[in-house]
Structure 1
Amino acid sequence: MYTIGQVAKFLGITRDTIKFYEEKELVRPQHNRENGYRTYNHFDIYDLTTINFYREIDLEIKKIQELRKGKSIEGIQSIVEEKEQEVLEEIAYKKLQLKKLQLVKEDCEKIKQFLGNYTIKEMKPLEVMGEIDHYKAYDDYDTLKENTDSLKKAVILTSLRRVIRFNDEGMVENQFVIVRKVEDGENIIDGDIVAHPKCLYTVIEDGRWSTGGKNTDDKVEASIRQAAKEYGYELVGLVYVNLLLTTYEEGLERIFLEMYVPVK
């Protein structure tokens, strides 16, 4: 027979953990009525080892209690398969999180490299999932949720693209579209695809810290026309604007936007 201290030491678990398992009736040591101490035999140790095994694969206490009451091999297999599916879903979610973190790192590099500078770049295919009249039309954001596999995958603001149509006289149309990046080799696509092999590309800064809240569309338009002239391209009258990153300075937001301006 062993004391709780001895069992805790050679199993590598704490006394509190053993007491917790006792409270959940997963292990039932003998109690000495004279001194109140608990003693553990080799069956108790086997029970604790088994509980630890199932906890290591992250089975909930409730599931272990079910097992403790009695489960067939098929029953155990069913519980394990259910847990396996949870883990696979969590792995998929973590992979998505990792991808988003990596994209934010890439966006930081874009800002450092292209802020205020123009280059020629391809706008890769985007699937148009829907339209929103204005990014402040919050009631329409449900459309975004309907077009994602789960709420964990919904990225509301960064799924929007501001699409500006203009001519020589100025802006003709200004709308927001809900988009999804089309992955390489993807064949089944429901929505319309927009892509432009050749665009003027730049990153601009907006937000109250840099602009004082003033509209800078005219200034940006002039910059685009000047860049097109310098590169020797003709504008087709479209601009796609995407939110890259938002940060704060002196309590005011600094918003960085990337712009694809199709040219020919």
Structure 2
Amino acid sequence: MYTVGQVANFLGVTRDTLKYYEEKELVKPKYDENGYRKYNQYDIHDVITTNFYRELDIEIKKIQEIRQSKSLADLEDVLVEKEAKIIEEMEYKKLLLRQISSVRENCSKIKLHLGKFTVKEMRPLEVKGEIADFTAYNEYEIIRNSTESLKKAVTLMSVRRVIHFDEEGKKEDRFIVVKEVEEGDKNLTGEVLAFPKCIYTVIENGRAVTGGKNIDNEVGERLLKIAQENGYKLLGIAYINILLTTYEEGLERVFVEMYSPISACSKRRIKRTEKFEAAQF
């Protein structure tokens, strides 16, 4: 027989927890001749079992019902339900981990490519829909329906701003919802965008940098200059993706990546270390 203090020490629970279990008649220790509660091996097993149910977040009332039921089926039903919920939570945690990994990758992109340019592939994207712009909040349902969304947050990682332009400037601008195409993916229903060669860069935007000024023309001019200096023929389109937003004195610093496809007949390859002029976008 064991005292309350010994059992609390054995099982790593508090005396108050044991007292609570006793009040709810989930464990019923005997009293010795001195009026002290004594736990036998069966009482300790009751505590262990109750702790397990509590770890599964089964409410006390349901535990009482399980204890009173003579049917294993009742217990199995509860465990099946909890198992399904835990599996769902595990899948969601995996999604959160992927989101964390993606944001960390974006941090690396910013450090590596901010203010620089290179030529790289734009990996295939399936177009799932279109919204008016980032501020079309009433249209965000298509983002939630077309992507793996978080419970409490809409992420814009799946939205691309598409700009059509020429030497005279921007001609058209729209916003598409996309999903990255995985290798071997056969369940594609929308248009797939893929370009083997693009001028790629990371640009800093936002009120902390531009004061809210539209920098589209400036970006376009620099892009055309880069292409001209390096013998590349632009296809007149750019895909822009928000990587990360941070803050400086309460104002947003928005980092975006841009892919601008180039023609296969372009003359030379841009070196990774070549930079834009000193002024950033």
Q: Under a length normalisation based on structure 2, what TM-score does the superposition of the two structures give?
A: 0.84
Structure-2 residue corresponding to 1:240 = 239
Structure-1 residue corresponding to 2:29 = 29
Residue 139 of structure 2 aligns to which amino acid in structure 1?
D
Indicate how the Cα distance of structure 1 residues 71 and 260 shifts in structure 2: closer, same or farther if over 3 A, else same.
Answer: farther
Deviations 1:56-98 (A, max 9, x none): 5x24134433321225333333322222222222221112111
Gaps of 5+ in 1: none
CA drift of 1:154 comes to: 6.7
Partners of 2:95 and 2:148 within 8 A in 1? no
Indicate how the Cα distance of structure 1 residues 123 and 153 shifts in structure 2: closer, same or farther if over 3 A, else same.
Answer: farther
Partners of 2:170 and 2:216 within 8 A in 1? no
Structure-1 residue corresponding to 2:78 = 79
After TM superposition, what 4+ stretches of structure 1 lie above 4 angstroms from structure 2?
34-37
Structure-1 residue corresponding to 2:58 = 60
Partners of 2:149 and 2:155 within 8 A in 1? no
Residue 26 of structure 1 aligns to which amino acid in structure 2?
L
Tell me how many residue pairs correspond in the alignment. 262
C-alpha separation between the residues in 1 aligned to 2:24 and 2:149? 35
Residue 110 of structure 1 aligns to which amino acid in structure 2?
K
Residue 69 of structure 1 aligns to which amino acid in structure 2?
Q
Structure-2 residue corresponding to 1:138 = 137
Structure-1 residue corresponding to 2:277 = none
Deviates more, 1:58-67 or 1:118-127: 58-67
Structure-2 residue corresponding to 1:229 = 228
Structure-2 residue corresponding to 1:9 = 9
Indicate how the Cα distance of structure 1 residues 212 and 91 shifts in structure 2: closer, same or farther if over 3 A, else same.
Answer: same
CA drift of 1:151 comes to: 4.9
CA drift of 1:156 comes to: 3.4
Structure-2 residue corresponding to 1:116 = 115
Structure-1 residue corresponding to 2:195 = 196
Residue 3 of structure 1 aligns to which amino acid in structure 2?
T
**Bigger helix share:** 1
CA drift of 1:241 comes to: 0.5
Partners of 1:127 and 1:189 within 8 A in 2? yes
Residue 18 of structure 1 aligns to which amino acid in structure 2?
L
Gaps of 5+ in 2: 264-281
C-alpha separation between the residues in 2 aligned to 1:142 and 1:48? 47
Structure-2 residue corresponding to 1:19 = 19
Computed over aligned residues only, the root mean square deviation of the Cα atoms, in angstroms, reads 2.3
